[in-house]
Structure 1
Amino acid sequence: MNMNHYILVFIPSLITYTGSAFAQHQISITATVGSLAVLPCDCRNVTKAQSSSQSPHVQWRNISETVFERQGEEVYQSEGYKGRVDVPKDQLMKGNCSLVLNNVRAEDEGVYQSYILVRRSKRALQSEHVLLRRVELSVGGVPETPNNESSDSGSKSRSHTGLIITVFVTLVLVLTLGLLWKFKARTYFANEARGNYALTSVSHRDSPPQSD
């Protein structure tokens, strides 16, 4: 087997294995625009060997940048998330490294990964990133205000339409009744006139002739 063939076989296998390793940490949550979302994370199993007085060093990243990072009182928030993300220190000391994301935006949708930075030994110069959780955030819905305005506009439009229909039907009914009344009145007076004419004719016919 030549080297090129070995690489073609090895790389897909490596990708499959890495994906399986991430999959066991991944969960999916859904939030609506403007709401509060909590991306869950638990670091107790990783930090239990550390001193209880030592604040864990936690980091949350998305596909392109570090979104949030906390080590004790030192906090970093990326520009697009400034003022909207936090891992409360009191919760972090208890092993809860969940990321609280306020005022969710449509562009917040994506995959987030949480890491705990640990040193395996006191002599280690650099901290090791330990993957804790992979969270896929889906954002749906729209702010409530436009929906309410749209709903109010629709209600007003339907109300106006109903009023116009009611007025139209009322006018037609009034006109119809007026025409019927006029027709009946004409018929009545015509019959009265014919009756009077008939009575007059009979009276003239039955009256005795007057002698000169």
Structure 2
Amino acid sequence: MDRRYWISLCLLQWLANCVGSSPLSSAIHTSSKVGLSVVLPCAVTSHLDHPPHIQWQTVQDSVFERMGEEQFQGEAYKHRADVPEAILVQGNCSLFLQDVRFSDAGIYKSYLVVDESSFQNRIFIQSVHLSVVDHKSTKYVETGKDLTLDLYTNQAQLVIFQNSNDTAWAVVWERDGDKNNKCHLSNNKLTFKSVTASSAGMYKVLDSEGLALSTVKVLITEPVLLRESQVLERKTLLGKATMSTPFLKIIITFLTFHLVLPFN
């Protein structure tokens, strides 16, 4: 073995020790709600003279790779995955993943790639287990007001509804379906206009696979309004009470004077 081989071998061992000493070298767990963004942590603790060459992979797919300005995104992660160059030069090799999908759940591994003149070697850095969960919420809406459902992502394809007094589900919105005059879509927010008591129930937002991105329980409340007659009645009673106050004072004064006088 020549001298260059031994030097390269020593360099790889040094890098492995530096990376392996990172507190993030053990597997960690993180989670995200579907449709949101998540950061999978990664750090290279060694001080390199140039930006590191980083790879992120799952068991089945290549996710992202960056070497300087050059980058590669896996087919399933197009326009969604990135390791920003600005933070990579500082040793932060975290993977930024946008518009998270249920299919993104799994184990991700990051590697430091060392290129030599005669071979390329990968050094394991970090293993991250990503869990993806749906959204759950409860909304209270007054009769006659608008109900707005957050779809969170373009993955949303269908909204189904189950009335509080029924067990069947009905489609109330479909992304590529006929336009419904009762609802309006804008910026992944679906608005149902002027809800009634029959609008109470469960709403599920589904993706193309039929998986629930979100489940919303909607409760319809009656607006608290005072009838005009009630308002007038209260004003009348208040006026009578105010007007009768001096008369009551006169009666109390008269009774006090006559009751006390005989004892003098």
Provide the rounded CA distance (Å) in 1 between the counterparts of 2:96 and 2:151. Answer: 26
Q: 2:100 aligns to what SS in structure 1? A: coil
Do 1:44 and 1:94's aligned partners in 2 also have CA atoms closer than 8 Å?
no
- The 1:154/1:126 distance shift into structure 2, 3 A limit, reads farther
Tell whether 2:124 aligns with 1:138.
Answer: no
Q: Which amino acid aligns with 2:71?
A: V
Q: Which amino acid aligns with 2:200?
A: G
Do 1:30 and 1:137's aligned partners in 2 also have CA atoms closer than 8 Å?
yes
Q: Which amino acid aligns with 1:114?
A: S
> In structure 2, which of residues 109, 112, 119 is the aligned counterpart of residue 113 of structure 1?
109
Tell whether 2:93 aligns with 1:93.
Answer: no
- The 1:43/1:106 distance shift into structure 2, 3 A limit, reads same
Provide the rounded CA distance (Å) in 2 between the counterparts of 1:154 and 1:102. Answer: 33
In terms of fraction of residues, the more helix-rich structure is 1
Provide the rounded CA distance (Å) in 1 between the counterparts of 2:79 and 2:150. Answer: 23
Taking only the aligned residue pairs, the percentage that are identical comes to 36
- C-alpha deviation, 1:55, in angstroms: 1.7
> In structure 1, which of residues 73, 77, 92 is the aligned counterpart of residue 69 of structure 2?
73
Tell whether 2:57 aligns with 1:61.
Answer: yes
Q: Which amino acid aligns with 1:35?
A: L
CA RMSD of superposed structures (Å): 3.3
Provide the rounded CA distance (Å) in 1 between the counterparts of 2:220 and 2:109. Answer: 51
Structure 1 match to 2:99: 103
Consecutive unaligned residues in structure 2, runs of 5 or more: 1-23, 137-148, 153-158, 163-194, 202-216, 223-264
Provide the rounded CA distance (Å) in 2 between the counterparts of 1:145 and 1:42. Answer: 35
Provide the rounded CA distance (Å) in 2 between the counterparts of 1:111 and 1:117. Answer: 19
Tell whether 2:22 aligns with 1:32.
Answer: no
Deviations 1:152-210 (A, max 9, x none): 732798649x8xxxxxxxxxxxxxxxxxxxxxxxxxxxxxxxxxxxxxxxxxxxxxxxx
- C-alpha deviation, 1:103, in angstroms: 0.7
In terms of fraction of residues, the more strand-rich structure is 2
Structure 1 match to 2:43: 42
Higher gyration radius (CA): 1
The normalised TM-score by structure 2 is 0.44
The normalised TM-score by structure 1 is 0.54
Deviations 1:20-75 (A, max 9, x none): xxx96200001000111000000123xx2x31xx2210000001021000001111
Do 2:32 and 2:131's aligned partners in 1 also have CA atoms closer than 8 Å?
yes
Query: Relative contact order (C-alpha < 8 Å, sep 6+): which is higher?
Result: 1
Consecutive unaligned residues in structure 1, runs of 5 or more: 1-22, 163-212
Do 2:25 and 2:125's aligned partners in 1 also have CA atoms closer than 8 Å?
no
Q: How many residues align?
A: 132
Q: 1:90 aligns to what SS in structure 2? A: helix
Deviates more, 1:135-144 or 1:72-81: 135-144
- The 1:149/1:97 distance shift into structure 2, 3 A limit, reads same
Q: Which amino acid aligns with 1:111?
A: I
Provide the rounded CA distance (Å) in 1 between the counterparts of 2:92 and 2:25. Answer: 19
